[in-house]
Amino acid sequence: MNNKQSQSTKLAKMAMLVAISIVLVYLIHFPIFPAVAFLEYDPADIPILIGTFAFGPAAGILLTVVTSVLQGLTVSAQSGLYGILMHIIATSVLSVTAGLIYRKNKTKKGAVIALVAGTLAMVVVMGCANLVITPLFMGVTVDVVITLMPFILAFNAVKAGINSVVTFILYKRISPFLHR
């Protein structure tokens, strides 16, 4: 296959991953902690992580931005620009961190280390991002965000953790199709 066909095939596979991500959000989304019901778990990051492992960290960012914008304009429109921005930040940190580590060590152990590191990075970055961005978009004080921080950190850990475990289980099964 020539380079142009190869790039077109890669782009088509990435578009398929974006579509799967959006369908998953449409079908599966629910609050993890009733006290902060606006923080909803969704499996959108699974196809993005799979695409990142298959095509690299730059592809992970592209998948994240396209998915976040399309999702934010359709199935998650109620979260608006705030939701799009937070999804881009969270998933970019998760996927790029995991993708950079996995790219250097494409083993099961490497995948575990990559996904754990990505999860931890997402938790830390989203803690900081919420302190800055949430007051701007939600009209609340930093003190309000600080009182919610245990939920915010736990939510990000649970969401990234679930999506990482599912990615770990699925990636090697799906990988041959993506690399064909």
Q: Where are the alpha helices (DSSP H) in the chain?
A: 3-27, 45-55, 57-73, 80-104, 108-138, 142-179
User: For each successive 10 residues of the chain (180 residues), what is the average pLDDT?
Assistant: 84 97 96 93 98 98 98 92 97 98 97 98 98 96 97 98 98 93
pLDDT at 3: 83
Domains and CATH numbers, the chain: 3-179 (1.10.1760.20)
Statement: the pTM of the whole predicted model exceeds 0.85: yes
Residue 161: name the closest of 129, 134, 131, 121 by CA: 121
